[in-house]
Amino acid sequence: MDASIHVHNLNAWFGAKQALFDINLEIADKQTTAIIGPSGCGKSTFVRCLNRMHETLPDARVNGKVVIGDVPVYGKGISAVSIRRRVGMVFQKPNPFPTMSIYDNVAAGLKLNGFHNRRELDQTVERSLRQSALWDEVKDDLKKKSGASLSGGQQQRLCIARALAVEPDVLLMDEPASALDPISTAKIEDLIFDLKKQYTVVIVTHNMQQAARVADSTAFFLMGNLVEFDKTETMFTKPSDQRTEDYITGRFG
């Protein structure tokens, strides 16, 4: 299924404060797109608008258009829940359900959706954990160990498995490796590379080398505006906007 993301004149506010200004962006299907920019530039707000997480905050507003494949995310009669099922999200800090077993953590989303066939649940849990490159490390402890007993890097891969279990089309990752050590970070980055074969991945990162390593395309945000969007290689070797150049070379500020 086509999971390209089309963003047209997207604006977002927190109360009276506007956080995004007329964003227009075409995110390609089954590619990894990195969103970079200084703190407060609107990059997290942007990805939270893609799965209608922004509207969960008090006083938050959105206008403009987001279309995933052919589904208008903010269309009439489209529920936020149905969008979030299609668009999975992984956060900066791993947030497994601490008391649930590894197995139940991965199966949680499916069970919430009324999915109870044991054999199919087993298959989905295994597939998701394999996709998130965690299976070999946890396969013997699936029901014995809790999500919280895993290391930080394993917890993050568990959260990725949980997001993948409901078979989304898009995976949003908000600083998924910023709390992890270099080895865990490398595993997550390898994983992102594999995931794009099946999913459209959008990753918010502060780490420009990470963006350079994992993303096909990169968007640079500044003060709520999209400054530049191009192939990652071009962005990091020959950006066309001086502000991008200044930011990525550390001359900014």
> What are the residues binding another protein (CB under 8 A)?
208-209, 212, 236-239, 244-245, 248-253
Nearest to 84 by CA among 109, 61, 63: 109
C-alpha to C-alpha distance for 68 and 75, rounded to whole angstroms: 11
Q: From the CB of 181, what's the least distance to another protein, in Å? A: 18
For residue 74 the two structure tokens come to: 């903010």
Q: What is the DSSP letter of 149?
A: G
Residue pair 61/12 in contact (Cβ under 8 Å)? The answer is: yes
For another protein, give the closer residue by CB, 93 or 251.
Answer: 251
Residue pair 65/7 in contact (Cβ under 8 Å)? The answer is: yes
For another protein, give the closer residue by CB, 123 or 237.
Answer: 237
For residue 54 the two structure tokens come to: 């922004």
Phi, psi of 221 (to 5 degrees): -105, 145
Q: From the CB of 12, what's the least distance to another protein, in Å? A: 28
For another protein, give the closer residue by CB, 83 or 215.
Answer: 215
C-alpha to C-alpha distance for 135 and 125, rounded to whole angstroms: 9
Q: From the CB of 152, what's the least distance to another protein, in Å? A: 24
Q: From the CB of 24, what's the least distance to another protein, in Å? A: 24
Q: From the CB of 158, what's the least distance to another protein, in Å? A: 30
For another protein, give the closer residue by CB, 113 or 209.
Answer: 209
Beta bridge partners of 170: 87, 200
Q: Directed axis angle between helix 182-195 and helix 152-165, to 10°?
A: 20
Q: From the CB of 236, what's the least distance to another protein, in Å? A: 5
For another protein, give the closer residue by CB, 56 or 242.
Answer: 242
For another protein, give the closer residue by CB, 182 or 250.
Answer: 250
219: helix, coil or strand?
Answer: strand
